[in-house]
């Protein structure tokens, strides 16, 4: 009997029919049947059990995508998990499933900037209003709720600045006012935190990141409870937001080592954090300093931390911080994260977005690091030689 998810990941979805450890890639646009009677039988089965892997057209998926959905639903402890071509596709699907013209959304201020642009700018053109709340002052949720508020959209921790919220209190406010909730849980994945189990209606993960783990796949997942399942199912049919079988195969393969990789990212990040915390010029945006509010909120809900962290660096000269980033030899420069490799990027306004509740002092600069699977001592040595340029 398998009790541990670590064991489940290694033993699930073996294909004894083809005698392969991993399930095969099944590509199909046309799903072929022996007769019209067989088509109708399959359609009837789908109507009775939409989660059962019954397809009559390739846009609905194949056995390859169905297997990934089952694995992720087990990990999420969700009623079902939908798959999309990108992580942001899952953000869009979650919001599109729920809100309509005239509705209002409450979104956490340090949200992923494309999510900010979608909610604040794009949806506004369709008569959907978005208000941003302060993750450290949840009264800003309550005071902005109206009878038109349909969704509270959370990202935890905050994008790039890593604010941790009291998630149970967010859910209490939502349930009291009969408002649906969605959370972007890409930073932790359900390996370290299970939002649906806590009470969220929808949980988003960019499968591009840790699920894949090798920086060569785009994909997203949207785990849901039973309450919103029909809404999301209908929206996905209409939009055609589906993950292809090749990407689904690679994500399934990546999931086999999700636990091993995330445990190591966490271990490496803690070692790097210990080094960086000694530098008085750096405020570490990572749940490392015991006693801090962020640490308490992280410890309350999470069993571990990923490799993504922020640095708020005090420096009079902005160019010196950019030189620090450019001087790193073991960190690549690029967007995304969650792969085996370490990455660094200077965070300008284009990355942060036009925040309502973030005010940086003139000498404060933001840098984001993804701590990969290299030897952490090598990463520390690299950071040490580069930090000498900060002035």
Q: Rounded to an integer, what distance in angstroms lies between the CA atom of residue 360 and that of residue 362?
A: 6
**What Å distances lie between residue 79 and 150, 377, 390, CA to CA?**
21, 42, 49
Q: Secondary structure of the chain: what % helix, strand, coil (to 5)?
A: 40, 15, 40
Global confidence as pTM: 0.94
284-336: pLDDT as tens digits: 999 998 988 899 999 999 999 999 999 999 999 989 999 999 999 999 998 89
DSSP state of 60: G
Phi first, then psi: give them for residue 359, nearest 5 degrees: -130, 110
pLDDT one-digit tens code per residue, 175-217? 999 999 999 999 999 999 999 999 999 999 999 999 999 999 9
Strands 149-155, 180-184: pairing is: parallel
Please report the pLDDT score of residue 5 as a whole number: 78
**Bridge-based pairing state of the strands 180-184 and 220-224:** unpaired
Rounded mean pLDDT for each run of 10 residues along the chain, 391 residues in total: 76 75 90 96 95 92 95 97 98 98 98 96 97 97 98 97 97 98 98 98 98 97 98 96 96 97 98 97 94 93 98 94 97 94 89 83 94 98 97 91
Residues 6+ apart with CB under 8 A from 340: 213, 214, 215, 261, 372, 373
Residues with Cβ < 8 Å from 96, sequence gap 6 or more? Answer: 235, 239
Q: What is the predicted pLDDT for the residue at 134?
A: 97
Domains of the chain, each with CATH number or no CATH: 5-255 (3.40.640.10), 258-387 (3.90.1150.10)
- How far is residue 16 CA from its own chain's centroid? 32
Task: State the pLDDT at residue 1.
Answer: 47
């Amino acid at each position: 009997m398998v009790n541990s998810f670590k064991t489940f990941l290694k033993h699930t979805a073996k294909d004894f029919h083809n005698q392969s450890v991993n399930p095969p890639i099944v590509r199909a646009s046309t799903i072929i049947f022996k007769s019209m009677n067989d088509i109708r039988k399959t359609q009837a089965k789908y109507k009775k059990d939409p989660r059962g892997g019954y397809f009559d057209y390739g846009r609905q998926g194949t056995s390859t995508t169905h297997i990934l959905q089952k694995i992720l639903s087990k990990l999420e402890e969700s009623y079902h998990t939908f798959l999309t071509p990108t992580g942001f596709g899952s953000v869009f699907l979650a919001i599109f499933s729920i809100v309509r013209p005239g509705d209002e959304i409450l979104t956490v201020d340090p949200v992923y900037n494309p999510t900010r642009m979608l909610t604040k700018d794009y949806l506004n053109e369709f008569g959907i209003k978005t208000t941003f709340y302060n993750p450290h002052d949840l009264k800003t949720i309550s005071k902005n709720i109206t009878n038109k508020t349909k969704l509270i959209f959370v990202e935890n921790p905050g994008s790039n600045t890593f604010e941790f919220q009291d998630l149970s209190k967010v859910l209490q406010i939502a349930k009291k006012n009969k408002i649906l909730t969605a959370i972007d849980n890409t930073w932790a994945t359900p390996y370290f935190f299970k939002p649906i189990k806590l009470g969220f209606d929808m949980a988003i993960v960019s499968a591009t990141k840790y699920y894949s783990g090798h920086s060569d796949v785009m994909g997203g997942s949207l785990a849901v409870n039973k309450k919103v399942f029909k809404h999301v199912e209908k929206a996905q049919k209409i939009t055609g937001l589906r993950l292809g079988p090749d990407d689904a195969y690679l994500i399934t393969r990546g999931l086999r080592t999700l636990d091993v990789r995330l445990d190591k990212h966490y271990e490496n990040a803690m070692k790097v954090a210990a080094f960086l915390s000694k530098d008085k010029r750096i405020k570490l945006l990572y749940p490392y300093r015991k006693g801090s509010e962020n640490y308490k909120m992280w410890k309350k809900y999470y069993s571990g931390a990923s490799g993504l962290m922020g640095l708020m660096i005090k420096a009079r000269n902005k160019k010196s911080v950019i030189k620090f980033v450019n001087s790193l030899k073991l960190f690549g420069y690029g967007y995304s994260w969650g792969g085996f490799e370490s990455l660094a990027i200077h965070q300008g306004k284009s990355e942060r977005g036009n925040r309502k509740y973030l005010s940086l002092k003139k000498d404060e600069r933001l840098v984001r690091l993804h701590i990969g699977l290299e030897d952490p001592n090598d990463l520390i040595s690299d950071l040490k030689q580069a930090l000498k340029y900060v002035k």
